[in-house]
């Protein structure tokens, strides 16, 4: 299975965090530390059309940018995600519930981004998947 059918933007759920990916290039770029710490292990990807993909892991394909991926304090690499299953349907309600659950599990961190009540309110009032994904709260 491949991620050719993903419609961007998409949300990535992993390790109690939510991150937006606006393209395949963004999805497959990460630091060596993130790969080693298992960012792609058990990652759930939900695209703007409501399709979900379970990612089981990833393997390094190369480097991002010049200088073999070296940045000031980290090295950026390009990875190839291993798709465990998908695409499958993720209802709007299920996406909202998943986001609210993640936010409630770590309210202190999310409060640094915006008031938790505001985040949950905007998520719950969204009419479509893409509206949620385009909210400015995701890292």
Q: Tell which wins on pLDDT, 53 or 70.
A: 53
Q: Tell which wins on pLDDT, 14 or 62.
A: 14
pLDDT, position 68: 46
Q: Tell which wins on pLDDT, 66 or 117.
A: 117
State percent of the chain over pLDDT 90. Answer: 71
Note the pLDDT tens digit of each residue in 9-31.
Answer: 999 999 999 999 999 999 999 88
The whole-angstrom separation of Cα 68 and Cα 93 is 42
Is the pLDDT at 134 greater than 80? The verdict is yes
Contact of 7 with 47, CB cutoff 8 Å: yes
Is the pLDDT at 40 greater than 90? The verdict is yes
Per domain, the residue ranges of the chain are 10-89, 92-133
pLDDT, position 129: 96
Averaged over 111-125, what is the pLDDT? 95
Is the pLDDT at 73 greater than 70? The verdict is no
pLDDT, position 69: 44
């Amino acid at each position: 299975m491949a991620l050719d059918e993903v419609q961007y933007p998409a949300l990535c759920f992993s390790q109690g965090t939510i991150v937006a990916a606006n393209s395949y290039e963004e999805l497959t770029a990460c630091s060596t530390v993130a790969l080693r710490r298992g960012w792609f292990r058990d990652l759930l990807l939900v695209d703007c059309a409501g399709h979900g993909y379970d990612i089981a892991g990833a393997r390094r394909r190369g480097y991002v940018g010049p200088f073999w991926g070296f940045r000031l304090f980290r090295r950026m690499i390009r990875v190839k995600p291993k798709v465990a299953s998908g695409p499958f349907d993720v209802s709007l309600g299920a996406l909202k519930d998943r986001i609210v659950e993640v936010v409630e599990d770590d309210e202190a961190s999310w409060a640094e981004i915006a008031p938790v009540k505001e985040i949950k309110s905007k998520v719950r009032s969204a009419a479509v998947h893409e509206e949620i994904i385009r909210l400015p709260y995701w890292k």
